[in-house]
Amino acid sequence: MAALGVTLAAAALYAANCAVCHGPDRLGLTGPALLPENLERLKPSAALQVIARGRMATQMPGFGDKLSAEQMRELADYIYTPIAEPRWGPDEIRASRVVHPPQKPDSDRPVFEADPLNLFVVVETGDHHATILDGDRFVPLARFPTRFALHGGPKFSPGGRYVYFGSRDGWVSKYDLYNLRMDVEVRAGINLRNIAVSADGRWLMAANYLPHTLVALDAASLEPVKVIDVRDAQGESSRVSAVYDAAPRESFIAALKDVKEIWEIPYGPNTGPVYKGLVHDYRTGEGLAEQGPFPVRVIETDDYLDDFFFDRGYHNLLGASRNAKTSEVVNLDVRRKIASIDLPGMPHLASGITWDWNGTTVLATPNLKTGVITVIDTKTWKVVKHIHTLGPGFFLRSHENTPYAWTDNFNSPYRDTLQVIDKRSLEVVKNLTPAPGKTAAHVEFTRDGRYALVSIWDMDGAIVVYDAATLEEVKRLPMKKPSGKYNVWNKITRSDGTSH
Ligand code: DHE
């Protein structure tokens, strides 16, 4: 009874102080959602600090002089209390859509002089903004607010005119790079992992942790086309860890967190979406055709696989589980495991890259728990080398026109130091510390591969531009905790050295 009383008191405190921004149901409004699933990355003690002092560079005020210490603790406990899985179906998604009308008629050509294919989209997580950078002169062309806490790489339309962002809170935003303006936004979920855009630019698929859905949107209007309830044949539902566009296969591939399945969802002209309106239950028929638009082909796996890397042709994927020490190679054509690789360091396969080496193609991946870059032959699926680094890293990047791959030591005391690996000798050839004491991570090259742009992850941070051949710094642009940066050309041409 006492516990119920405390919860009721906390609910009242929440309604009086928080609901106006975070929503009466805690699903988020102008402020982010306050649910255990959305707060996974924030310790309760840190949440208490935010309630007391507010959050810098956001509209979150501090309540330290309004509420007692006890009331703030009750509130902090309350926001970590689970709620029944919220309903977020086609109606809620459609109702959330925000269209930003243009100030003047849109141009179908870029409104600036810079090369539209050598732009960088820089995500600044410090104050939830994005900067559009001219990749030849390294000058910002625009800076605009984004939704709270973007995650995963932004995705581009095939010609590079539009860029799409996904936020951890479920928002999908479409930005027009030619007219430098936000076009339309929609909330596809409550807790979203990432988004993928089909190779033909017609569809966008959003992967959600909450609810357990994949949401197909029309990429032009961001109207929902289909909400797929994610369950295995036994009815067990699953969070979706990530969704990828497998362009050569004309399909989306989804990694599932809680069931031992990989899902392939074709969107091409033969098996893809014939627009028949919304279909909610994909398991209504035996064949793909009966499933309506975006049918699901299920591949059963031996383990839970929630992080993927695809070979160049998208015939095979390497899948890792956050819990296992072994990764599985799954052939998507025969739809079964063809090899397993011992990878105990928790590989971060989403950051893997490939290059040609000694007559074969190798895949290299950082590891989140061990200070090695693992290099794997994609013909034999055998480990070629473990390249030892200063500490566990997060991202790995290169470009066709450079002999070097760059990695970080994000999860270690050496997080301020980047390491440059020679792709021929598979040796570390240089350490770079652009801002001592501040995390340096995530590299992206210009479209010609001449320059490498590095993020300094700090409120008083920067993008540091290096000459990719001499490894000398050429420019430094102040930014607010820039996380990733994404070059239009490298993305739309699916450069081997970058994420897709
Ligand atoms: Fe990410 C991409 C998963 C934590 C920054 N991250 C991805 C992708 C996956 C993934 C599957 C590829 C999807 C895509 O780009 O479309 N990330 C995970 C996790 O499972 C993990 C470890 C825990 C979690 O809670 O999500 C995780 N990621 C982080 C962070 O803590 C980072 C460093 C800071 C942040 O802003 O959240 C972070 N992840 C990124 C970035 C990318 C990313 C910047 C895009 C990389 C790219 O170059 O494409």
Average pLDDT of every residue of the chain:
91
- Cβ-contact 214, 264 below 8 angstroms: no
Please state, in angstroms and rounded to a whole number, the distance separating the CA atoms of residues 46 and 324: 30
Check whether 322 has a pLDDT greater than 80.
no
Q: What is the structure's pLDDT at 446? A: 98
Distance between CA 496 and CA 491 in Å, rounded? 10
Count helices and strands in the chain by DSSP H and E runs: 6, 33
Distance from the alpha carbon of residue 151 to the mean position of ligand 1, in angstroms: 6
* pLDDT the model gives residue 324: 72
Predicted local confidence at residue 276, as pLDDT: 34
CA of 480 to the centre of ligand 1 (A): 18
Residue 286 predicted with pLDDT over 80: no
> Is the pLDDT assigned to residue 326 strictly greater than 80?
yes
pLDDT band at 294 (very low <50, low <70, confident <90, very high): confident
DSSP string, 404-431: EEEE--TTSTTTT-EEEEETTTTEEEEE
Least confident of 133-147, 265-279, 387-401, 439-453: 265-279
pLDDT (mean) for 88-108: 96
Q: How confident is the model at residue 277 (pLDDT cuts 50, 70, 90)?
A: very low
Distance from residue 348's CA to the centre of ligand 1 (Å) = 9
- The pLDDT of residue 4 is 52
Does the beta carbon of 439 sit less than 6 angstroms from any atom of ligand 1? no
Residue 5, pLDDT score: 54
Per-residue pLDDT tens over the stretch 60-70: 999 999 999 99
Most confident of 231-245, 284-298, 423-437: 423-437
pLDDT at 273: 45
Q: What are the residues whose beta carbons fall under 8 Å from the beta carbon of 64, sequence distance 6 or more? A: 52, 53, 72
Is 41 touching ligand 1 by the criterion CB < 6 Å? Answer: yes
SS (H, E, C) 203-271: EEEEEEEECCEEEEEECCCCCEEEEEECECCCCCECCEEEEEEEHHHCEEEEEECCCCEEEEEECCCCC
Residue 74: pLDDT above 50?
yes
Q: What is the mean pLDDT of residues 254-282?
A: 68
Mean pLDDT within 81-85: 86
The ligand 1 atom nearest the CA atom of 255: 11
Res. 1: pLDDT tops 80: no
Q: Give me the pLDDT at residue 271, please.
A: 53
pTM given for the model: 0.92
Give distance in angstroms: CA of 395 to centre of ligand 1: 9
Atom of ligand 1 nearest to the CA of 307: 11
pLDDT for the residue numbered 59: 87
pLDDT of 454 higher than 90: yes
Q: Which residues contact 188 (CB under 8 A, 6 or more apart)?
A: 93, 166, 170, 171, 172, 195, 206, 208, 215, 217, 224
Contact assessment for residue 197 and residue 181, using Cβ atoms and an 8 Å cutoff: no
Across 82-219, where does the E strand assignment appear? 98-99, 119-124, 129-134, 139-145, 155-156, 162-166, 171-176, 181-187, 191-197, 203-210, 213-218
Q: Which of 41, 151, 490 is the best mutation target for the ligand 1 pocket, counting ligand atoms within 8 Å of the beta carbon and taking the most? A: 151
**pLDDT band at 291, cuts 50/70/90?**
low
| Top-confidence range, 183-192, 278-287, 325-334 | 183-192
CA distance 218 to 214: 13
pLDDT digits over 115-174, tens only? 999 999 999 999 999 999 999 999 999 999 999 999 999 999 999 999 999 999 999 999
pLDDT of residue 272: 46
What integer is the mean pLDDT of 251-266?
Answer: 94
- pLDDT of amino acid 323: 72
Ligand 1: centre distance to CA 364 (Å)? 17
Distance 112 CA to ligand 1 centre (A): 31
Of the listed ranges 4-18, 77-91, 261-275, the least confidently predicted one is 261-275
pLDDT of residue 6: 56
Regarding beta strands 261-266 and 297-300, do their DSSP bridges make them parallel or antiparallel, or are they unpaired? antiparallel
- The phi, psi pair for 452, rounded to 5°, reads -115, 130
Amino acid 280: pLDDT:
34
**Nearest atom, ligand 1, residue 483 CA:** 44
